[in-house]
Chains A and B, each alone.
Chain A
Amino acid sequence: MTTISDVGASTPAPVPSAAAVGGPNDRRGSWIPTWSMITTRFMELRRRRGLMIALMLVTIGIPFVFLLVRLLLHAFAPHSYGPAGGYDIFQGLVAGVLYVFGFIMAATLGCTAGSIDLTEGMFRHLVVTGRSRLALYLARIPAGFAIIGSLIAAGFAIVCLVCVFAAPTTINYDGANVPAGLSLSAFETWAGSHVNEVFCDFPYNGPTPANIPCGNGPGGGPGGVVVKGPPGSVAPAPQTAAQLKTQAIQFARQDYSDYNKIFLYPSTSLMVKTGLWIELEALVGFMVGLGLASLIGQRTVAVILMIVLEIVLTPIFSRAHIPHLINLQRGVVGLAVAHLQPAGLGFVFGGGGGGPNGNQGTMRLIPETHTVAVCVIVGWLVVWSVLGAWRMMTRDA
């Protein structure tokens, strides 16, 4: 029998008291992350050069280059190339680039934040500090979202600026260049003085005059003859100029409601709503990616799954009516976010649902109320966060 209690030349250190450990500001058992934890996590993510370049290229670079090229082309050849900005460009860049690719980039960042401590061996160091594992997880959310949120905001700001300040001066309404913002009477007056454009380009439900030379334009029929309305409804020709003007005004009166929904550039209200909406999509991508990567413990598979979700599963489940899976389809988060898109914005999953009737796109989606959509989004955020945090708290380090 031996004892080693007398080993060591120096006097044993005093047993630490609870108050003495770490000082009065040390709340490492708390699940709330400290500001310092958030800022250093932000620093860690921000210094991933490759990832940051990829994020900036997609969220800022693509819109910036696209708009720059359009600005230059319009500057050098204004007759061949239209203005760089405008409502259509805004819709295209928001729905086509920032929404979908913003989600993918946010998911990539989330997957990185959720797994990289583990794969690079830092998780063990962090756990040994005694800090709550939940706090370690939660610190990643504001840090990561501060990055992706600000990048998407920057890209979106560029799009808004160009689309507003380089907007066209006339509206392209079904191929006809029409001044923007006309009242009904002004629109009718304009139609009366642009009979050919009206008959050739404007949609109209009713008899149309014949022998109007339209060429091969959008409204042009065989041999340049206008053919509109129900079969056999072609009005007898010829007509006098006054008759044509009267009929053009009728066209304009019928089309005014559609015309009135087209803008030269997006309104401030639409831009604000759209900005919040794509930030919501980015937040969803980031949080789900963070939780998924924390759950499975690695980045690559998580990123692939997120991309598949966004560009394969979500478009399919959002548009294909599968009778027995309709409620499952309603649970897809991409569908839920799409239902919250601001009115007047084109459909995000392609298919040309935008245009004059901005809600045409969403009408093609699997129907879902806003309440259900909000519940689905909240559910995804909570469930994936809980799963990720739970795995982080129980994982062997």
Chain B
Amino acid sequence: MSTTTLSYSPENRTAGSEWAVETHGLTKRFGATVAVNGVELLIPRGCAFGYLGPNGAGKTTLIRVLLGLTHADAGTMSLLGYAVPKHRDKALARVGAIVDEPRFHGHLTGRQNLLLLAAAREPAARGRIDPALERVGILHRADDRVSKYSMGMRQRLGVAACLLGDPQLLILDEPMNGLDPAGMHEMRDMILSLVAEGRTVVLSSHLLDEVERTCDAVAIVDRGNVIRQGPISELLAGASLVVHVECSEPDRARALLEATNIGAQVDVGMEGLGITLPTGTSRDVIAEINRVLVQGGISVYRLQEIQASLEAWFLQVTSRLGAPE
């Protein structure tokens, strides 16, 4: 288990805790491959939580373990305060989930597929079919066979299936797959509206921009390990500070900056200097950079702090680009 930046209190381990999802040392192996490696994850209730990772990082496997679709090899977990798998039925009663690509019986209509799923839930679920279809925007196609649905419509039907149980926790694995830009926008709005209703939404995705727009907090998983987790704003606050400078004599400017004790990494590019400052650097250093350049006789045309994005931070912390775990 590598670095986890989440605080953890022993009292949170009790049943009925504030966590929607809670895992401790969760491990899942496929032969010699460790798909989920001692994951410690705490997802608070009532937020949109992004679960991020590159392809093959173990995102879907963790979700499958949480939902009881496959067994864990080690560790404990709970959903909505219920230990899983011991109280799996009670835990899943208020959980809705899409795992991988949502697939349904193609010979049935969307409504009939939901009938089949509602029958496996509590009696009241049947009455939620039409509202769920309406909410995801496919009520007008509810009586068409699913084999005629587009990928985006199947995604929506998958979300409708999640809503049948009036879930407190929704786990959506790549819900934006197959959606056009308008569909993604609608999906984002719907997720936000679900969160506004007090539900917890866990969003597994590699679409970092979407996650950044939708989620309050994220966990980054790579090679089965959760390597960072926390609120996006706090995580990004810990990212490196990047300053872009357009100036005359870039090479001399670089030499000037490297001679200082700022500790910056300076790269000369086609459009000027790219200055990467260590994590935790004060913004006063930006003014210091300007001062050094001007005093060195360099004409500064533009100086801009590059806003740290989730994508940049993600690439920085994941090992896919060789960064340390």
Given A5-B18, A13-B198, A37-B120, is A44 in contact with B94 using a C-beta cutoff of 8 Å? no
| A contact residues around B306 at 8 Å (CB) | none
B121:A28 contact, CB within 8 angstroms = yes
Pick from A4, A22, A25, A116: contact of B231, CB under 8 Å: A4
Of B109-117, B250-258, B264-272, the one touching chain A? B109-117
A125 within 8 A of B: yes
Contact B107 A130 (CB under 8 A): no
Known interface pairs A2-B5, A2-B231, A15-B81. Does A136 touch B120 (Cβ–Cβ under 8 Å)?
Answer: yes
Q: A2-B230, A8-B45, A10-B46 are in contact. Are A128 and B69 (CB under 8 A)?
A: yes
Least CB separation from A38: chain B residue: B119
For residue A269, CB closer than 8 A to chain B, the reply is no
Among B93, B99, B234, the residue within 8 A (CB) of A2 is B234
> Does B108 contact A44, Cβ atoms closer than 8 Å?
yes
In the complex, residue of chain B having the shortest beta-carbon distance to the beta carbon of A41: B116
Interface size class of B (residues with CB under 8 A): 35 or more
A127 CB–B CB distance under 8 Å: yes
A124 → B minimal CB distance (Å): 6
A324 interfacial by beta-carbon distance below 8 Å = no
- 1/0 contact trace for B80-95 toward A, CB 8 Å? 1100000011111111
Name A25's contact: one of B47, B96, B118, B123 (CB within 8 Å): B123
- B81 — which chain A residues lie within 8 A by C-beta? 15-16
A70 at interface (Cβ–Cβ under 8 A)?
no
Q: Is B150 part of the contact surface with A, judged by Cβ < 8 Å? A: no
Q: Are A8 and B90 in contact (CB under 8 A)?
A: no
Closest CB in chain A relative to B175 CB, distance in Å: 15
Of chain B, the residue at the smallest CB distance from A35 is B119
A397 at the interface (CB under 8 A from B): yes
- Whether a CB of chain B sits under 8 angstroms from the CB of A312 is no
CB proximity to B under 8 Å, residues A103-147: 116, 120-122, 124-132, 136
Count class of interface residues, chain A: 35 or more
Q: Which residues of B contact A3 (CB under 8 A)?
A: 6-7, 230
Partner among A4, A10, A36, A131 whose Cβ is within 8 Å of the Cβ of B123: A36
**Nearest residue in A to B123 (C-beta to C-beta)?**
A25
Asked whether, in the complex, the Cβ of A37 is within 8 Å of the Cβ of B231, the reply is no
- Complex: chain B residue closest to A4, CB-CB: B217
B263 sits at the interface (CB 8 A): no
A26's partner among B7, B93, B116 (CB-CB below 8 A) is: B93
Is the pair A34, B119 in contact by a Cβ cutoff of 8 Å? yes
A7:B6 contact, CB within 8 angstroms: no
Contact across chains for B89 and A1 when beta carbons are under 8 A apart:
no
Give the nearest-CB partner of A394 in chain B: B71
Nearest-Cβ distance from residue B316 to partner chain A, whole angstroms = 17
Please state if B88 and A130 are interface contacts (CB–CB under 8 Å): yes
A18 to B15 Cα, complex, angstroms: 12
Alpha-carbon distance between A8 and B118 when the two chains are bound, in angstroms = 29
Taking CB atoms, residues of chain B closer than 8 Å to A6 are 44
A379 lies within 8 A of chain B by Cβ:
no
B122 near A: Cβ within 8 Å?
yes
Say yes or no for A243: interface residue by CB 8 A criterion. no
- Smallest beta-carbon distance A123→chain B, Å: 9
Say how far B314's CB is from chain A's closest CB, in angstroms. 17
Contacts of A131 in B (CB 8 A): 89, 120-121
B120 pairs with A28, CB closer than 8 A: yes
Least distance between B144 CB and chain A CB atoms (Å): 14
Decide yes or no whether A21 CB sits under 8 A from chain B: yes
What are the 4 A-B residue pairs with the smallest beta carbon separation, nearest first? A121-B103, A130-B92, A8-B47, A22-B122
Interface residues of A, Cβ cutoff 8 Å to B: 1-13, 15-16, 18, 21-23, 25-26, 28-29, 34, 36-37, 39-41, 43-44, 47-49, 116, 120-122, 124-132, 136, 396-397
Name 22 interchain pairs, CB-CB below 8 A, sorted by A: A2-B234, A2-B235, A4-B47, A7-B49, A10-B196, A15-B17, A18-B90, A25-B123, A26-B123, A36-B118, A36-B119, A36-B126, A37-B120, A44-B116, A47-B107, A120-B105, A120-B106, A122-B116, A125-B102, A130-B89, A136-B120, A397-B64
Additional A-B contacts beyond A12-B198, A23-B123 (20; CB < 8 A): A1-B5, A4-B231, A5-B7, A6-B44, A7-B217, A23-B122, A28-B122, A36-B123, A36-B126, A37-B119, A37-B120, A40-B116, A43-B115, A47-B112, A121-B104, A125-B102, A125-B161, A126-B117, A128-B99, A131-B121
